[in-house]
Amino acid sequence: MSGLVVRDLQVVFDGFVAVGGVDLTVPSGDVRFIIGPNGAGKTTLIDAITGLARATGAVTFDEHELLGRKVHKIARLGVGRTFQNSTVFEELTVLQNLDIAAGWHRGPLTLLRRRSSVPPEVQNALETVRLTAVRDQLAGTLPHGQKQWLEIGMLLVQNAKLFLLDEPVAGMSHEERDATGELLGELSREHTVVVIEHDMDFLRRFARSVTVMHAGKVLSEGTVAQVQADPKVQEVYLGHPVEA
């Protein structure tokens, strides 16, 4: 089936089990939120899918097996991700950032020439993530929210089909969150989106489905309402304002 399929995924660091047997199915077009307390293994799960952490089990995306492939080969299969701390190239302009993200398939001759015009997909992405006005500004000078958008824009031009976003709205203002949420909705028309997030309010408004992780395992899965009603989740989140 298309979409992301994870079966019995295990990641072990020096004897410490970070992810212990996770099964996860995200059909294409879904906007899946993954939540869980710190240390639940959320980021490690994404690390394993994208090839950063060594794992056992099986991960397929659109029928391609991902485990065992190198990071850049997985990226070429249409798997894109962002990081908790924004990792745009601060010494390059917004345009340059996007142009690089759009270009892994370029041949040597194109690479060795100067960019003569803005590629159409980059232009589109600039408009989608609303960064046209700051196109020639160094990415390092952007405010935090715009950096996160730039990251999403880079995934767009990268032609990623699966978006793995690690806390994309942390540190954003309310307006920025809303805008980001809407952007996620637009994206889901053509992409599969997986978001790691702590912000419950944001989750309730924009998630289509939710997976709750705890101690390296999947605790609960379903719609927002289903998950909120799950007693196991309430137990884990005791003292956390789930109901609020």
Partner 1 sequence: MTTLQDPPVAVEASAAKAPRRFHALIGFGLAAVVLFALAPVALGDFRLGLLAKYLCLAIVAVGIGLAWGRGGMLTLGQGVFFGLGGYAMAMHLKLADAGPGELPDFMQLYGQLDALPWWWKPFANPAFALAATVLLPMLVAFLLGLLIFRRRVRGAYFAILSQALCAALAIFLIGQQGTTGGTNGLTDIQGFFGYDLNDPINRRMIYFIVAAALLAVLGVAWQLMRSRFGELLVAVRDGEERVRFLGYDPANVKLVAYVVAAGMAGLAGALFVPAVGIISPAMIGVVPSIEFVIGVAVGGRASLIGPALGAIAVAWAKTALSEKLPSAWTYFEGLLFILPVVFLPGGLASLAMYLRRRRSTSTEVTS
Partner 2 sequence: MTLVLSQLFTGISIGAVLLLIALGLSLTFGQMNVINMAHGELIMAGAYTVYMLQKVIGGAGFSLLVALPVAFVVAGLMGVLIEVLLIRRLYARPLDTLLVTWGVSLLLQQAARDLFGAPNVQTRAPSALTGSIHLTDDLAISSSRVFILALALIAVAAVTVVLKTTPLGRRIRAVMQNRDLAAVSGLATGRVDRLTFFIGSGLAGIAGVALTLIGPIGPTMGTNIIVNAFLVVVVGGIGQLKGTVIVAFVLGIVQSMVEYTTTVSVASVIVFVVIVAFLQWRPQGLFTLRTRSLA
Residues that bind partner 1 (CB under 8 A): 50, 52, 70-72, 75-76, 80-81, 83, 87-93, 96-97, 99-101, 103-106, 110-115, 117-118, 136-138, 141, 154, 158
185 binds, among partner 1, partner 2, none (CB under 5 to 8 A by kind): none
Q: Is 192 helix (H, G, I), strand (E, B) or coil?
A: strand
Q: Is 44 helix (H, G, I), strand (E, B) or coil?
A: helix
Of 50 and 228, the one with the shorter C-beta distance to partner 2 is 50
- 99 forms bridges with which residues in the sheet? none
Q: If binding is defined by CB under 8 A, does position 91 make contact with partner 2? A: no
Smallest gap, in angstroms, from Cβ of residue 217 to partner 2? Answer: 18
Judge whether 172 and 145 are in contact, CB under 8 Å.
Answer: yes
Locus of tokens 């997909």: 121
- Dmax over CA atoms of the chain, in Å, equals 60
Of 14 and 136, the one with the shorter C-beta distance to partner 2 is 14
73 is written with which tokens?
Answer: 């080969």
Smallest gap, in angstroms, from Cβ of residue 243 to partner 1? Answer: 37
Smallest gap, in angstroms, from Cβ of residue 213 to partner 2? Answer: 16
Q: If binding is defined by CB under 8 A, does position 13 make contact with partner 2? A: yes
Judge whether 30 and 192 are in contact, CB under 8 Å.
Answer: yes
Of 27 and 140, the one with the shorter C-beta distance to partner 2 is 140
Among 180, 218, 193, which residue's Cα sits nearest to residue 79?
193
- 61 forms bridges with which residues in the sheet? 4, 64
Of 52 and 170, the one with the shorter C-beta distance to partner 1 is 52
Q: If binding is defined by CB under 8 A, does position 170 make contact with partner 2? A: no
What CA–CA distance (Å, rounded) separates 102 from 239?
A: 45
Q: Binding to partner 2 (CB under 8 A): which residues in 25-64?
A: 43-44, 47, 53
What CA–CA distance (Å, rounded) separates 61 from 81?
A: 14
- 196 forms bridges with which residues in the sheet? 34, 166
Smallest gap, in angstroms, from Cβ of residue 13 to partner 2? Answer: 5
14 binds, among partner 1, partner 2, none (CB under 5 to 8 A by kind): partner 2
What CA–CA distance (Å, rounded) separates 177 from 121?
A: 25
Of 167 and 199, the one with the shorter C-beta distance to partner 1 is 167
Chain positions contacting partner 2, by CB under 8 A: 13-14, 18, 43-44, 47, 53, 83, 87
